[in-house]
Structures are given as structure tokens and as C-alpha cells.
Structure 1
Amino acid sequence: GIGVVIDFTRHMRTLVEVDAEARTAVVQPGVVLDELRAAAGAHGLTFGPDPSTHSRCTLGGMIGNNSCGAHSVAWGTTADSVQSLTVLGYGGQEWRLGQGWEGGPADLRPLVERNVALLRTGYPQGLPRRISGYAVDALLPENGVDLARAFCGSEGTLGVVTEATVKLVEAPRARALAVLGYADESAAAEAAAGLLSY
């Protein structure tokens, strides 16, 4: 098929604001993750998702594929860190997506309400790192109706992000490595849940 690649790293790479008190940042899609982390780091904060491509990946790309990284068990995926998105739809509409229906496409809520029973059957519960496919379960009332979260991972097929407000977390004061030994893989897997708080 035919695809379009939009490179925002030249003209839409402004880090608009870091609000240390609110622990948020407003970024354009071409901002490189390391640039955001450096700006947030001046306030003792960081952006949680940390893919190995942090020196060159952009926030727009991270939103598009719902990036995570090695520390996703602690801070989650990009969808967990997005507060709101300004999106340009393919008909030229501008949407401000966040929690609730306000700001999104007018025909989306009736579509979800007509199909809510079907939507409830299609998503396994308890998968903390489900990053592929459309996150339409984020549109269910019991999940808080989060349009921004539903948009994450859509690979640009639902619209184009022009600005994002993202959540920041406290940066670790120190990093450490622990090497733990287990009798076998099953024992290691069973112990993993107890280690998440560290």
C-alpha cells in the first residue's frame, strides 16, 4: 500500500513548556526524547518511557507506536504518560484529546455507545503492557473514556499529533544494579512481581 512519512524533526521540534509543579511538559511531535529528559532533569523530573532509541526517537513517534522501554514495568508506556493531545484529523479538523468525550470527533461517542457490548468482549484483562493494535478499550466508560490514550499506538492512522501534554515523573536519585540468582526461569518469573516496587 501507499504510506506517508512525516518528519517533524526540522520544523515542529519545540519544547513549549516544562511545568515542574504540575509535573507536565508540552511538546511538539518532533522533540527528541533526550531533549525532553534534559529539560525535565533540570527540575529533578524525567519522562518515564525510555526506549533504547532515546537519543533520536521523537515524542510524536513514541505516541504513534506507544513506545515503552526497559523501565516500563515502573513507569508504563507512552499512553500511560500522555495527558492530552492536539491532533489534526484527515478532514482538516483539530481535536484536543484528553479524558472524556469533549474535544474529540463528534461522531465517536455515539459510535462507541452503539457498540459498547462488543467492545467489552474484545480485550483481555490484566495485560499491563499491551501496546499493539487500537486501544479502543480506553473509550469504555469503566476505563475512564480517555481519547488521548486511545489515540496512542494508532501509528498516525487516526490523525496527526501537533502538540502533546505529557506527564513527568520524579527522576531516580541514584541507579543501582542487582544480580539475583534463581533455580530456574519459573522461580525468577514468580519472584518478579515482588521486585516491581524496587
Structure 2
Amino acid sequence: MHKKEKTENLKNNIKYLIKSRGETQLSLCNSSGLTRTTIYNILEGRVVNVQRSTIRKISDFFGVSYKEIETVNFEEKEIIESDVSLLGNMNPAAVPVVKEALLIKSLEKRIGELAATYPLTYYFGSACNVIGVLLENDIPGVYESGDLLIVKKGLSRSAREKLVYEKRTGILYVVSSACFDSDVFCVIGDVLEQRFNG
């Protein structure tokens, strides 16, 4: 496959993955550490030779194969896979499980790095930028120590409950979308699923 074809595939896949995973160019930049200019130049077809490290950051963010993002048409592949199965069979995504005590210092790390470092669990659903948070303390009235929360990292406008931590103490809370003070709390992400201990 020629470089131009690979770059075109990469561009189309980024556009498709951003749209299909409910992301934005900004969330991709913020989580992958790439600049907006870099992403813009790729999406506008201004770059013929994209650096390997850039491709790896993008593929890590979307939880897809580094080789496939340049060579496979993800939109076609996912349409075929959902048509072949009666239930739109989706392979489970491997999600790194981070203990509560290590969570805050792990937030800056990429999912690929966390997956190589921490134990994994599986999540059946669209899993881009998703982690498991193993609670070590109760969240009063909601969750207990030992419960596992599957969380999509980052700030979103969705109506889902958010896992946040108090900046001063590092204590975790679950809040509804619009009722927290961003000067006091920092958002970890949307709670996608809860798995109760025992």
C-alpha cells in the first residue's frame, strides 16, 4: 500500500472513529497529547508522511490496532461485522482496571500504557478511552469498597453520572451531570457501568 493510500485511510478512519465513538477533535487532542494543528493537518490531507509516534497515539486513544488504522477501512469493517451477526456481535474491549489509590496519578497516562501495566477486565460496548476504577473506599449511599466502575475518561455533555474527585482531598464522588463545582471537583469521566462486589 502506497503512503498516499495509507494517509487517506488514516484520515478517513480518524473522521469515522471520532464520529462513531462520540468524540471530538478536541477530546482526541487533549487525551492523546497531540496538537490541534497536527490533527487538523492530517484531516485536511496536508500531511503525506504521518510520524509513527503520532499514529500510535491516535490508535491508542481509539483502542484500535496501530497497523489497521492505516490499512483497514473501519467504517466498512464495522458495518460488515454488525451485518454478519444477528445481534451486531461486538468483541469485548479489554479495559485496564486501576485501583482508587493509583487513579489520580494514572489519569495523564494513555490507555495503551495503562493496559500494559494494570490488570484487565472486559467491557461489551463502544470502548474508546475507557478505564475500570476499583473502589477502595465507599462512596456513601452509592457504591462500596470493592465495586468496579467502568468509566469513559474525560468531560462530556452526556446526561450520565460523572465520577469526580475533590481536588483538595482526592476523595471520589459520583454526581449528576450539572451539579458540581469545577473549582472544587475534577471530572474523571462518565460512569458507563457498575459491577458490584460480591
TM norm structure 1: 0.27
Which structure's residues are more often helix, by fraction? 2
Which structure's residues are more often strand, by fraction? 2
TM norm structure 2: 0.27
Higher relative contact order (CA 8 A, sep 6+): 1
